[in-house]
Amino acid sequence: MIRLHNIMQELKEIQTLIKKQAHYHYLDKHIQAPNIDQGKLLLIYTLLTDCDIPKQKKEKYIMTTMLVQMALDTHDLVSNNDKNHSHIGVSLEQQLLVLAGDYYSSLYYLLLSNINDYEFIQILAEAIRKINEAKIKVYYQEFKNYEELLNLAKTIEASLYTHLAKYIGEPEIVSYIEEWILIYTLKNYQHGKKTIFDQIYVDLDAESFISYIEKNMEKPMIILREQGFQFIRQYHLLIKHSQSFIDQLSN
């Protein structure tokens, strides 16, 4: 219980640092900043928990990755607004959303430059490239079926974290991360939370899609169970306590 309490406290402190770093009075006044994704924060924290990296550098990795996620999420809000508004011209809110996304992006470059970690900048840049390529395919509906859409969703939602895993020398957990992120995203979609499926330009038959999810959720769940036994020692926080972390952080 003490260990769990300490972890929760550390995660909340990191959240506070991210919010403080991302705060900009004018933007906060006019637009709603994207939420820090609790599940993804837990995922990064778990990946870095046992790494032989100084605490300060570890915090910078977590903060920069989450700022990139916030930048990507903010730019998605611009796309979503474009979808919902057909009027000609660009609104102040849309302009500010673009500015906010660029602002969050600049912050992660600044943080990494302060620790002279240009290799990690390259890792994140490669992940962002893959994410944007997948988003373009989703935008233009370049998928033949739901299975292809889910594979694109994996790329969009998991690439930052799979690239981080490879960077710290943990490539064997990449497929676990992909399935974990997929299930996490699908569960959020089922419960009416915003996900890639309703933020990007995709017109889904919600009932049909949820039916497909329910019928095909078993495969990634089996993968998670099988791989979970392999990683139970290193990643027990993610495997055993993920939902409790998410629930507590959301309160």
Average pLDDT over residues 31-49: 80
Do 102 and 117 form a contact (C-beta atoms < 8 A)? no
Torsions phi, psi of 211, nearest 5?
-60, -40
What would the pLDDT profile of 181-193 be if each residue is shown by its tens digit?
888 888 777 777 7
**pLDDT of residue 156 exceeding 90:** yes
Predicted local distance difference test score (pLDDT) of residue 102:
60
**pLDDT of residue 237 exceeding 60:** no
Predicted local distance difference test score (pLDDT) of residue 152:
93
Assigned fold of 2-250: Farnesyl Diphosphate Synthase (1.10.600)
Predicted local distance difference test score (pLDDT) of residue 203:
59
* Residue 8, helix vs strand vs coil: helix
* Residue 35, helix vs strand vs coil: coil
Q: Which CA distances in Å does 89 have to 21, 75, 78, 216?
A: 32, 17, 13, 42
Chain mean pLDDT for the chain? 73
Domain ranges of the chain: 2-250
% residues pLDDT > 70 (the chain): 59
What would the pLDDT profile of 67-89 be if each residue is shown by its tens digit?
888 878 775 665 554 444 444 44
Predicted local distance difference test score (pLDDT) of residue 131:
92
Predicted local distance difference test score (pLDDT) of residue 88:
45
**What would the two tokens of residue 2 be?**
């003490």
Predicted local distance difference test score (pLDDT) of residue 241:
46
Predicted local distance difference test score (pLDDT) of residue 10:
84
Predicted local distance difference test score (pLDDT) of residue 186:
80
AA letter at 75: H
Average pLDDT over residues 188-202: 67
249 versus 19: the higher-pLDDT residue is: 19
Torsions phi, psi of 115, nearest 5?
-110, 15
What would the pLDDT profile of 211-226 be if each residue is shown by its tens digit?
777 777 666 666 666 6
The full DSSP string for 56-101 is: HHHHHHHHHHHHHHHHHHHHHHHHHHHHH--SSS--HHHHHHHHHH
Predicted local distance difference test score (pLDDT) of residue 173:
85
Predicted local distance difference test score (pLDDT) of residue 185:
84
Average pLDDT over residues 88-111: 59
Predicted local distance difference test score (pLDDT) of residue 68:
85
Torsion of CA 198, 201, 203, 208, to 10 degrees: -50
**pLDDT of residue 130 exceeding 90:** yes
Predicted local distance difference test score (pLDDT) of residue 141:
82
Predicted local distance difference test score (pLDDT) of residue 165:
92
**pLDDT of residue 94 exceeding 60:** no
Please state the three-class secondary structure of 96-116 as a single string. HHHHHHHHHHHHHHHHHHHCC
Predicted local distance difference test score (pLDDT) of residue 95:
60
